[in-house]
Amino acid sequence: MLQPDHGVGITRRIQQITRGTFDVKPGSLFPALHRLEERGWLASQWGESENRRRAKYYKLTAVGRREIDAELTNWRRIVAAIGWAIDATS
């Protein structure tokens, strides 16, 4: 599911899987990628794109994957809790 990809690829992928809800502009994407890389959750490498262009590819690291799992668990708990709260009050 999460293959190494470059910036444009990541943007398009997000647009695609969120059905156009999230349109991440480079002004937000770049700082986010760099911050995650500095934290060690992503690793980057120059590579070649489908059109044989030089592009920087980002890949999830093992630390990053663990972090995602943790965040996901947390997120699901919150969603579930909010769901219960809404069910209980409506």
Instruction: Name the CA dihedral angle for 31, 32, 33, 34, rounded to a multiple of 10 degrees.
Output: 50
Specify the residue, 43 or 68, whose C-beta has the smaller distance to another protein.
Answer: 43
Instruction: Name the CA dihedral angle for 59, 62, 68, 71, rounded to a multiple of 10 degrees.
Output: -150
Contact predicate 44/37, CB 8 Å: yes
Specify the residue, 38 or 87, whose C-beta has the smaller distance to another protein.
Answer: 38
Task: Give me the least distance between CB of 59 and another protein, in Å please.
Answer: 15
* Residue ranges binding another protein (CB under 8 A): 6-9, 12, 25-28, 30-31, 34-35, 38-40, 49, 51, 53-56
Specify the residue, 3 or 89, whose C-beta has the smaller distance to another protein.
Answer: 3
